[in-house]
Structure formats: C-alpha cells, structure tokens
C-alpha cells in the first residue's frame, strides 16, 4: 500500500515518518496526484460557462466525479450531490437555509455533545439569530451518547438533528441509523456529519435514512477545498439557494432570476472543479480495495497502538462501544502538547489539543488529549518504532 504514497517514505528528524494524524487530513495517493497533474497538463477550462473543448472536457470530468460521489454515498440522483469547499461549508450552507427558510422562534435543533465545532457553532449561531433552541445530547463517561437522554430531547418542536457518525475527538461510532429513525418518528430531519466516517464506514444514505450528509474530500486524500453536501432531492427541490452568483441561474428576466436546476443552483460561483475531479479519483482509488477492507487495516494498527499506550501507563479517553479511526490518550504527568512535540522528534506525527471538539472533552472533564489516528496505509510493522518513540519521549519528558 505504501508504494502509492511516496510521502510516507519521508524521513522526519532522521526517523522514518510515522503519519498518525489521518483524522486531520489523509495523504494523497499517487494516482490522485497524477489525475490532478494530468488535468492541468491536458485539459483545463472553467465549467458551465464556455463551450470550447477544454471547458467541455473539464465539465465532463467534474460531472463524472459527481456520479462517482453519488455511487459512493448510495444516493439516488447525482443532483443530490452539492459540491462545497468542505464539511464546514456544507453545514454552514444548510444552517443558512434553516435560518432563512425553515426555523421559527421556539423551534428546536438537536446536536450531540460529540460534534466537531463545524457541526456545533453554526447551529448555536442559527439558534441565536432565529430564537430557536439548541438541545445537546449528553455523553456518558465511556464516551458514548446518552441515548435515553436523546429520546427525551426529541419533541414535536424538533426540526433537525445534527450528529456526527464518528467522533473526531475520541473515535465513538454513533448509532446513526437508530438515532435517525427516532428523529424521523418525532418528525425531525437529520444531518449526518460523515467527515470522519467516510474512511472507516461504507456509506449508504438510503440505509442510514438521513436527509443530509456532509463530508470533506481531504479526509479521503483529495486536494483541499472540496467537500460535499448530500440532500434528498425532494427536500432540496423545495429550498431557495442561500448564496448567489455566477452559474446558478437559468435565465434572468429583468429583475427576476430563474434559478438553475439542482445541483447548480446551490453552487454559485466557479466551483472547485479540480478538487471535485480529485475527489472522484480518490474514491476510485479507495474503491480498488474497498472501504471495509481499508477500515479493517486501520483498525488493526489502532488496536496495536492502544496496547502500546496502555503498556506505557497511558489511558484512553473514553471507552466507547464501537470506536473507529481515532484513539485519544493521556499520560499521567505529561502534557499532550509536550508529548506530541517529543514524538515528532522521533518521526511520529500525532495531534495534541481539543480537536475542535471542546464541548465533548469538557463533558469528560478534559481540556486536551493526544490524538493518534492511523489509516489503512499504516502497517503493524511500524509499531516497534512507535513503541520505542513513545518510550523515549516519556523518558525525556519525565526526566
């Protein structure tokens, strides 16, 4: 697998790079890099504007990528796939729609305590602006959601439930199918934040039953600045676009714009078409192996890392029923930032901090953790280097 990722042969501070920060961003496979380079070498033009060969060919590639994303998500129609700049923009786009078109004072939005700030702050702000009320599903100490409390929070005022599938801070895999069914029983719509899930779970939006689904390309190894908001067609059909500009009208009759059909009316301005093409290429690459097989590879390494952490006296933050992708850890007497810096000296890339999920960590009475997130291209053969790096780092920091 590593042969596809030349960056993984890099030496850092004299040691082979062990890249365990994949929850932040995944490295780009060589075939994806080549797709991007080849695009700029042979075929570049703005989409949905010009009729020359370069533009037409770019447009075809972008629309082929949309179809690839449709299949990847199990969506029914390519028109349900809106290209955005990433999860953050996807959620803000939906939040703007809710603010302008769907919420009234006293309506309720439910988010979970596990949300990344991208799926927390937009809803907090929307509630502030509209007089809607934000309800937060609490955590139990193991790092799972309190599902009894969730059921209690759903009322006939709940308009939308926003939940991450996989927590970026502690790795909890939420029972999104069950939670979606409960939300629908209460008459609410559901947004699933799939930013961390897409690399570790096969997505099927029909099976999940969700109404909206967001993710970022770079978590799958694309260019940055590309992401997706999936929305069910019958919902999107009835929504007014929140952003305005080039490429999103069919005609302008005097002062009356006739908005373009889906998905274009939600993609104002020049889209990141090369990003979209890189997303198509990244999904094609991942599909060669299958997401489930790739997730199993990452899980093997994650389990090995967990054993090493425990053997060195560390503890895991949360002990959720199902975990994917991420292990957050603490070592007594050692600050996570110091440990991340020390590990870097031995070539190990991990992240320390609150991981943009301060609410979740506060619920567990923690402010920062060391987060270790291997991916499918990491190998059990790396673990002795990790073990040694951890031992040396702890020795260094503890004097």
Catalytic residue positions, numbered: 356
- Does 363 help bind ligand PLP (rule: CB under 6 A)? no
Going by C-alpha positions, the residue among 179, 182, 168 that lies closest to residue 359 is 168
- Does 393 help bind ligand PLP (rule: CB under 6 A)? no
Nearer to ligand PLP, 86 or 249 (CB): 86
Work out the end-to-end distance of the chain between its first and last CA atoms, rounded to an integer number of angstroms.
38
Rg (CA), the chain: 22
Q: Shortest Cβ distance from residue 90 to ligand PLP (Å)? A: 8
Partner residues linked to 330 by β-bridges? 315
Q: Hey, which residues between 187 and 216 contact ligand PLP (CB under 6 A)?
A: 193, 195-196, 216
Helix, strand, coil distribution of the chain in percent, nearest 5 = 45, 20, 35
Name the burial class of residue 389, with classes exposed (0-12), middle (13-18) and buried (19+) by CB atoms within 10 angstroms of its CB: buried
Nearer to ligand PLP, 33 or 119 (CB): 119
Nearer to ligand PLP, 257 or 353 (CB): 353
Q: Which stretch binds ligand PLP (CB under 6 A): 115-123, 171-179, 252-260, 285-293?
A: 115-123
Q: Hey, which residues between 49 and 108 contact ligand PLP (CB under 6 A)?
A: 86-88
Other C-beta atoms closer than 10 Å to the C-beta of 92 total 22
Nearer to ligand PLP, 198 or 249 (CB): 198
Following CA atoms 253, 257, 263, 264 in sequence, which dihedral angle do they give, to the nearest 10 degrees? 70
Nearer to ligand PLP, 116 or 232 (CB): 116
DSSP state of 269: S
Q: Which stretch binds ligand PLP (CB under 6 A): 9-17, 112-120, 296-304, 377-385?
A: 112-120
- Does 116 help bind ligand PLP (rule: CB under 6 A)? yes
Q: Hey, which residues between 32 and 51 contact ligand PLP (CB under 6 A)?
A: none
DSSP secondary structure of 138-199: PBPTTS-B-HHHHHHH--TTEEEEEEESB-TTT-BB--HHHHHHHHHHTT-EEEEE-TTTTT
- Does 164 help bind ligand PLP (rule: CB under 6 A)? yes
Q: Shortest Cβ distance from residue 127 to ligand PLP (Å)? A: 19
- Does 122 help bind ligand PLP (rule: CB under 6 A)? no
Q: Given the rule CB under 6 A, which residues bind ligand PLP?
A: 86-88, 116, 118-119, 164, 168, 193, 195-196, 216
């Amino acid at each position: 697998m590593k042969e596809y990722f030349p960056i993984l042969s890099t030496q850092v501070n004299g040691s082979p790079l062990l890249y365990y920060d994949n929850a932040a961003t995944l490295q780009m496979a060589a075939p994806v890099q080549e797709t991007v380079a080849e695009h700029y070498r042979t075929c570049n033009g703005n989409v949905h504007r010009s009729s020359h060969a370069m533009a037409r060919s770019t447009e075809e590639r972008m629309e082929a990528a949309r179809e690839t994303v449709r299949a990847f998500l199990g969506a029914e129609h390519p028109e349900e796939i809106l290209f955005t700049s990433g999860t953050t923009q996807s959620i803000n786009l939906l939040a703007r729609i809710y603010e302008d078109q769907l919420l009234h004072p006293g309506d309720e939005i439910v988010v979970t305590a596990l949300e990344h700030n991208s799926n927390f702050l937009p809803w907090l702000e929307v509630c502030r602006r509209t007089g809607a009320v934000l309800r937060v599903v609490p955590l139990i100490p193991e790092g799972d959601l309190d599902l009894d409390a969730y059921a209690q929070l759903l009322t006939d005022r709940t308009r939308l439930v926003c939940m991450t599938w996989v927590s970026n801070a502690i790795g909890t895999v939420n029972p999104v199918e069950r939670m979606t069914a409960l939300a629908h029983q209460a008459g609410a719509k559901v947004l699933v934040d799939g930013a961390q899930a897409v690399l570790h779970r096969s997505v099927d939006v029909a099976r999940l039953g969700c109404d909206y689904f967001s993710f970022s390309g770079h978590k799958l190894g694309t260019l940055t600045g590309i992401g997706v908001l999936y929305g069910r067609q019958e919902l999107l059909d009835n929504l007014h676009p929140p952003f305005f500009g080039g490429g999103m009208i069919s005609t302008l009759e005097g002062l009356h714009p006739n908005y373009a059909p889906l998905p274009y009316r939600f993609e104002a301005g020049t889209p990141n078409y090369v990003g979209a093409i890189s997303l198509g290429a990244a999904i094609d690459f991942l599909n060669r192996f299958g997401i489930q097989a790739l997730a199993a590879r990452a899980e093997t390494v994650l389990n090995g890392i967990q054993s090493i952490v425990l053997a060195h006296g560390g503890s895991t933050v949360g002990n959720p029923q199902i975990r994917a992708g991420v292990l957050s850890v603490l070592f007594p007497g050692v600050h996570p930032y110091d440990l991340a810096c020390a590990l870097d000296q031995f070539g190990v890339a991990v992240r320390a901090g609150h991981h943009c999920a301060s609410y979740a960590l506060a619920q567990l009475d923690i402010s920062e953790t060391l987060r270790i997130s291997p991916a499918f291209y990491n190998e059990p053969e790396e673990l002795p280097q990790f073990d040694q790096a951890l031992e040396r780092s702890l020795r260094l920091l503890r004097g």
